[in-house]
């Protein structure tokens, strides 16, 4: 049986032409997939969908739900497919109520990263309370050997607290020992900021980035698209991610205009093609 091809990116930092021609490459950024993109497929066939993700060439997966499977069952499937568990997005209220169980589960499947994925308007009505809760949760994660991260949308860049964007406020209020960054670079862009600058700002505290593309529609809303089909400067983001020593660049497409498995296949093909064209991205 052939092992599935695995894609990782090496991003050229030095623009010197001689270094390019010599093939000098730097630290590897692994490529994973946020499984929310395939939520309907996973509901129908959890095991089969993960096997397909591995066949496409993704090195790891980021969970958002376990679809009733035990940690032992998920770990066995990961071992079968060769996929790495990058981490898991788990609902904010669930994490606050069941922190110990959530931490234990993620550690059992082989990842330290537990991620707060989203806050409703009600949950974020007081950013000070959010920061306090994240600190408490982050302390518990650290005690048990896990790492808490926060995943942003655009509202953290648009809303303010303490004279800062809510994004910056949270990371000022909660020490990095208790809260790391999972930066959704597309939402930083849509929120009106330069994701490359933000990656540099949080270098050293940023193990994970979400790699996502979008088109802004006439009504101002964002349509998520396959990598390379939108307006986000993905090559610059990947280069900045390498410089910031990001461990994983995680492909995500919130909504797909064509079948989601086709979309994630096309996104990883875009990454492969950019490598083959000899740009700044190297497998």
Phi, psi of 113 (to 5 degrees): -95, 120
For the residues 238-255, what does the mean pLDDT come to? Answer: 96
pLDDT of residue 276: 52
Please report the pLDDT score of residue 76 as a whole number. Answer: 99
Could you give the number of structural domains in the chain? 1
In this structure, the dihedral spanned by the alpha carbons of residues 185, 38, 273 and 222, taken in order and rounded to 10 degrees, is -40
Q: Is residue 54 a contact partner of residue 80, using CB atoms and an 8 Å limit?
A: no
Backbone angles phi, psi at 11, to 5 degrees: -110, 125
User: Which range has the worst mean pLDDT, 6-20, 158-172, 258-272?
Assistant: 6-20
| Residue 58, pLDDT above cutoff 80 | yes
| 198 within a domain of the structure (yes/no) | yes
At 136-178, the pLDDT tens digits run 999 999 999 999 999 999 999 999 999 999 999 999 999 999 9
pLDDT confidence of residue 27: 61
* Confidence band, pLDDT 50/70/90 cuts, at residue 180: very high
130: Cα separation from own chain's centroid? 21
Q: Kindly state whether residue 51 falls inside one of the protein's structural domains.
A: yes
The residue-averaged pLDDT of 106-113 equals 99
Query: Does 1 reside within a domain?
Result: no
pLDDT at 273: 86
To the nearest whole percent, how much of the chain has pLDDT over 70?
87
Provide the residue range defining the domain that includes 127: 8-282
Q: Is the pLDDT of residue 23 over 50?
A: no
Residue 111 in domain: yes
Strands 213-216 and 28-34: unpaired
Please check the confidence at residue 98 and state whether its pLDDT lies above 60: yes
* Position 230 confidence tier, pLDDT thresholds 50, 70, 90: very high
138 inside domain:
yes
pTM: 0.90
Let me know if residue 226 belongs to a domain.
yes
Question: Does residue 2 fall inside a structural domain?
Answer: no
pLDDT in tens, 70-86: 999 999 999 999 999 99
Q: What is the pLDDT of residue 2?
A: 39
Give CA 162 to chain center in angstroms.
Answer: 27
Within-domain flag for 3: no
CATH number at residue 48: 3.20.20.150
């Amino acid at each position: 049986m052939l092992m599935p091809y695995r894609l990782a990116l090496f991003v050229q930092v030095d623009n010197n032409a001689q270094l390019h021609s010599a093939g000098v490459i730097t630290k590897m950024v692994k490529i994973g997939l946020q499984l929310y993109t395939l939520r309907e497929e996973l509901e129908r066939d959890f095991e089969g969908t993960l096997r397909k993700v591995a066949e496409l060439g993704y090195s790891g997966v980021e969970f958002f739900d376990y679809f009733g499977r035990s940690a032992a069952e998920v770990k066995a499937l990961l071992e079968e497919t060769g996929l790495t568990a990058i981490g898991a997005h788990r609902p904010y209220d669930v994490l606050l109520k069941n922190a110990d169980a959530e931490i234990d589960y993620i550690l059992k499947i082989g990842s330290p990263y537990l991620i707060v994925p989203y806050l409703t308007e009600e949950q974020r009505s007081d950013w000070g309370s959010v920061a306090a809760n994240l600190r408490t949760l982050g302390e518990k994660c650290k005690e048990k050997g896990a790492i808490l991260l926060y995943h942003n949308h655009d509202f953290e860049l648009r809303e303010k607290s303490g004279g800062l964007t809510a994004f910056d406020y949270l990371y000022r209020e909660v020490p990095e020992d208790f809260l790391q960054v999972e930066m959704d670079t597309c939402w930083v862009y849509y929120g009106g900021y330069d994701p490359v600058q933000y990656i540099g700002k949080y270098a050293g505290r940023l193990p994970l980035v979400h790699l996502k593309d979008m088109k802004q529609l006439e009504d101002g809303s964002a349509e998520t698209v396959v990598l390379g089909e939108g307006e986000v400067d993905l090559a610059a983001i990947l280069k900045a991610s390498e410089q910031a020593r990001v461990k994983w660049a995680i492909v995500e497409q919130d909504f797909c205009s064509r079948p989601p498995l086709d979309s994630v296949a096309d996104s990883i093909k875009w990454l492969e093609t950019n490598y083959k064209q000899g740009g700044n991205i190297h497998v």
